Amino acid sequence: MSRTMALQSFLGWGAASLSPIAFGYVLDIANPGDALSRYGYVPNWGWAFMILGLGGLTGPLIIWRLMRKMRAQKNCVTLS
């Protein structure tokens, strides 16, 4: 149980520390360099939020794949 909690904590802190970097990087790529001075705001936020959404979507997809794999192993009959 403690290993599972440690792994969950490690992955959670890792994702929490990398997501602002990825968000800022995508925000810089999606907007022209002079967008703030030209428009007074940064117009293209959607791509950066999409990156955060994709990161959140990976968890349920991984769980779904693991459940399929576990069900397939459970249904597999071994001959002894």
Ranges of each domain in the chain:
2-75
Q: What is the mean pLDDT of residues 21-28?
A: 93
Residue 61 has pLDDT above 90, yes or no: yes
Helix (H) or strand (E) segment spanning residue 8: helix 2-30
**Whether the predicted model's global pTM rises above the 0.75 cut:** no
In eight-state DSSP terms, residue 45 is -
* CA atoms of 18 and 12, how far apart (whole Å): 10
Confidence bin at 6 (pLDDT 50/70/90): very high
Confidence band, pLDDT 50/70/90 cuts, at residue 77: low
Write down the pLDDT at residue 55.
Answer: 86
| Stretch 5-27: mean pLDDT | 92
